[in-house]
Amino acid sequence: MAIALDLVALSKQYGEVRALDNVTLQVREGEFFGLLGPNGAGKTTLISIVSGLARASSGQARVMGFDVVRDYRQARRALGVVPQELVFDPFFTVRETLRLTSGYYGLAHNDDWIDEILANLDLSAKVDTNMRSLSGGMKRRVLVAQALVHRPPVIVLDEPTAGVDVELRQALWRFVRRLNHEGHTIVLTTHYLEEAQELCERVAMLQNGAMVALEPTADLIKRFSGGMLVLRLGGAPLPPRLAALRVEYPLPDRVALPLARYDDLEPTLAELRLAGCLIEELELLHTDLEDVFVRIMRGER
Amino acid sequence: MTRGFITLFYKELLRFLKVGVQTIAAPILTSALYLLIFGHVLTDRVTVFEGVRYTSFLIPGLVMMAVLQNSFANSSSSMIQSKITGNIVFVLLPPLSHFEIFSAYVLAAMVRGIAVGLGVFVFTAWFADLSFAAPAWIVVFAVLGSAILGTMGLMVGIWAEKFDQIAVFQNFIIMPMTFLAGVFYSVTSLPAVWQKLSHLNPFFYMVDGFRYGFFGVADVSPWTSLIVVCVALAVTGMLALRLLASGYRLRN
């Protein structure tokens, strides 16, 4: 499988601040990739370097094999970027905006594709509306449309759902997922971790400019424990080995046992049975990406 | 001519045409008022060139001033607006080269400058008899002058971070330099020191060469003016291209 995004030892220094610290990362073609991290972690800096909005202090970035500085024309043609800021040109209507963007990418007759994107983003009714008169959500959709006019193989969405209502968020994800199924590589930054968990096959986590995790989403969650076994027990008391593992839980009549891995579940239940404990209620709490994120940001690796 | 360049040029044209009252009509009115007032007050009192009424003398200078100021205003305000509103990313994300961005902004600035100049000319020509001694020079200096000021506007737009900085540049540099270039007078009427200083002002050569096209008379030879203006364009053009290539304040 070809490499859609290839970053090698990428660093960016802003005066005293090291915004990006030696990040090496590859995103495969067709992948749905998540870039996570708290504010100021370097996500937007990374995207800016890849899209040519900023220059790396050192290191290399390639899009579909094209160096973003040396072969900037091919690299930019291969990339569609939805910027985080809600920017627009107040002089133009939606259609004018999309025609101009098409032209910048060298496309002369692009109206059929523009109409298709507009229909997919529920913007058809607004084609002749001036950008100024659109709501925030609508402006966001136009930004998505602008990123797609040149049918880029790689699409980068920088916090596309920040401040967007639930309905638009759902519609946007349906559309982005479809683009991914059609073969587009998607790189997404988001604050909503359940979003990343649901959509991204693989995630990278950034902290203070450095990459602190890079793994398939499922592996990452699995690695950070299988979760928590919560029981209400009758019969014999908890055997001493398990009692030592017991952790506090909001409900006092429950016994909470952390599971390092799901593989530990079966032996634990066997041990309880052997000790004569009666399981009256059982609940298995899963770790989600949010827990993993919090723990990684705290320094667990 | 690439599609990207043509589109950006077209967008830059639309940008000022959509607010034409402010970008074209208003500066024409301002220049017309200069002519009506100064022309009325001074025409029977001042003679600059033998056989040329002051009103007629004034018109080429006013036209050139409008060309220069509006070329500068166009590229500088377009750039700073795009930077402040953030929509400059629409120009920075696509595969446009530095040269395409440069030419589109400067050419659109030239169109605006020359359009306003033409408007001033058509309007003021009603009030005076004008000759066209060497029309080719008129075109040459209008084109080169507007290109230089469009380029300067682009550079200032890239450098500036606030609208005020553009205004400072406009009011404290562009405005005095055009006024002191001999728009309202011939520099030969000045004391020797001021004449020498005027000859250090590149704007003087733009105005003087332009005026030569009308009257066939000027303070210096139009060829001298042409050389100075060409050098000024080469220097500003190279600087602007280097700014764009380096990504200064645009890609950082």
Domain boundaries, chain B: 3-246
Q: Do B7 and A100 touch (CB under 8 A)?
A: yes
- For residue B90, give the nearest of A73, A89, A90 by CB distance: A89
Query: Does residue A72 sit at the B interface (CB-CB below 8 Å)?
Result: yes
Give me the residue from B87, B94, B95 closest to A87, CB to CB.
Answer: B87
Q: Is the pLDDT of residue B208 over 70?
A: yes
pLDDT band, very low/low/confident/very high, at A234 (cuts 50, 70, 90): confident
User: Given an 8 Å threshold on Cβ–Cβ distance, is B10 in contact with A74?
Assistant: no
pLDDT digits (tens, 9 = 90+) for B132-152: 999 999 999 999 999 999 999
Paired residues of A228 in beta bridges: A258, A285
A252 shares a domain with A177: no
Cβ–Cβ below 8 Å for B4 and A105: yes
Residue A146 near residue A92 (C-beta atoms within 8 A): no
Contact B90 A90 (CB under 8 A): no
Residues A172 and A55 in one domain: yes
- Cβ-contact B95, B1 below 8 angstroms: no
Number of domains in chain A: 2
- What is the reported pTM? 0.89
Which of A11-20, A252-261, B88-97 has the lowest average pLDDT? A252-261
Q: Which helix (H) or strand (E) holds A5?
A: strand A3-14
A266: CB partners within 8 A, 6+ apart: none
Domain for residue A116, yes or no? Answer: yes
Those residues whose C-beta lies under 8 Å from the C-beta of residue B177, and which sit 6 or more positions away, are B201, B203
pLDDT confidence band for A224 (50 / 70 / 90): confident
Q: In what order do the strands lie in the sheet with A202-207?
A: A79-82, A154-158, A185-189, A32-36, A202-207, A210-216
Q: Are residues A154 and A266 in the same domain?
A: no
Q: What is the mean pLDDT of residues A254-273?
A: 87
Residue A290 in any domain: the answer is no
Does A99 share its domain with A140? yes
Give me the mean pLDDT over the A171-181 stretch: 92
Same domain? A194 vs A271: no
**Which residues, 6+ apart, have CB-to-CB distance to B195 below 8 Å?**
B187, B188
Residues A214 and A231 in one domain: no
Identify whether the C-beta of residue A209 lies closer than 8 Å to the C-beta of residue A45: yes
The span from the CA of B122 to the CA of B62, in Å, is 12
Contact A104 B91 (CB under 8 A): yes
Distance from CA of B94 to the nearest CA of A (A): 6
- A242 and A104 both lie in a single domain: no
Select the residue from B5, B89, B244, B249 to test the A interface by mutation, using most A Cβ atoms within 10 A: B89
Tokens of A233: 């027990």
C-alpha–C-alpha distance, residues A138 and A183, integer Å? 26
Comparison of pLDDT for A299 and A257, the residue scoring more: A257
Does residue A52 sit at the B interface (CB-CB below 8 Å)? yes
Chain B residue numbers with beta carbons less than 8 Å from the beta carbon of A98 are none
pLDDT tens profile A33-79: 999 998 889 999 999 999 999 999 999 999 999 999 999 999 999 99
- Tell me if B3 and A107 make a contact (CB, 8 A cut-off): yes
Q: Please give the pLDDT value at position A42.
A: 93
Say yes or no to pLDDT of B18 above 90: yes
Instruction: Name residue, tokens 């074209």.
Output: B24
Expressed as residue numbers, the domain containing A185 is 3-221
Whether residue A162 is predicted with pLDDT greater than 80 in this model: the reply is: no
Say what the pLDDT of residue B184 is: 86
Residue from the list A73, A88, A104 with its beta carbon closest to the beta carbon of B87: A88
CA-based R_g, chain B, Å: 18
Strand, helix or coil for residue B252: coil
Residues 6+ apart with CB under 8 A from B95: A72, A73, A74, A76, A77, A104, A105, A106, B4
